[in-house]
Amino acid sequence: MRRRQPAEWEPQQCVLLAWPHHDSDWAPLLDDVEAEYLELVAAILPRSPVMLCCRDEQHARRVRGLAEGRGFDLNRVTLSVVPYNDTWIRDYGPLSVLRNGEPELVDFAFNGWGGRHQAALDDRVSGALHRAGAFGSLPMFRCDRVLEGGSIDCDGHGTLLATSRCVLNTNRGAAALPVIMERELMTWLGAERILWLDCGEIAGDDTDGHIDMLARFCDEATIVFSACEDERDANFGPLRQMHQQLSEFRRADGGVYRLVALPLPRPLRAPGGQRLPASYANFLIVNGAVIVPTYADPGDERALDILRQCFPRYDVFATRARALISQGGGVHCATMQLAARPKPGTQETS
- Dump pLDDT digits (tens) for 5-22: 999 999 999 999 999 999
Query: Which CATH number is correct for 3-339, 1.10.10.10, 3.40.50.150, 3.40.50.2000, 3.75.10.10?
Result: 3.75.10.10
Which amino acid, one-letter code, is at 277? P
On the question of pLDDT at 128 being above 60, the answer is: yes
With beta carbons less than 8 A apart as the criterion, state whether 101 and 128 touch.
no
How far is the C-alpha of 322 from the C-alpha of 30, rounded, in Å? 13
Nearest Cα residue to 314 out of 285, 292, 334, 344: 285
HSE on the CB side for 274, CA within 13 Å? 12
- The answer to whether the beta carbons of residues 79 and 63 sit under 8 Å apart is yes
**d(Cα 224, Cα 239) in Å, to the nearest integer?**
12
Q: Does an H or E element contain 40, and which?
A: helix 30-44
Neighbours of 206 (CB within 10 A): 12
Closest CA to 315 of 44, 76, 49, 51: 44
- 23-27, 147-151, 249-253, 319-323: range with lowest mean pLDDT: 23-27
Tens-place pLDDT, residues 239-254 = 999 999 999 999 999 9
The predicted model gives 187-194 an average pLDDT of: 96
- pLDDT tens by residue, 269-300: 998 899 999 999 999 999 999 999 999 999 99
For 15, 214, 238, the CA distances from 277, given in Å and listed in that order, are: 24, 10, 13
pLDDT exceeds cutoff 80 at 213: yes
Q: What string of DSSP letters covers 132-178?
A: TTTTTT--EEEEEEE--GGGEEE-SSSEEEEEHHHHT-GGGT--SSH
Q: How many CB atoms lie within 10 A of CB 260?
A: 16
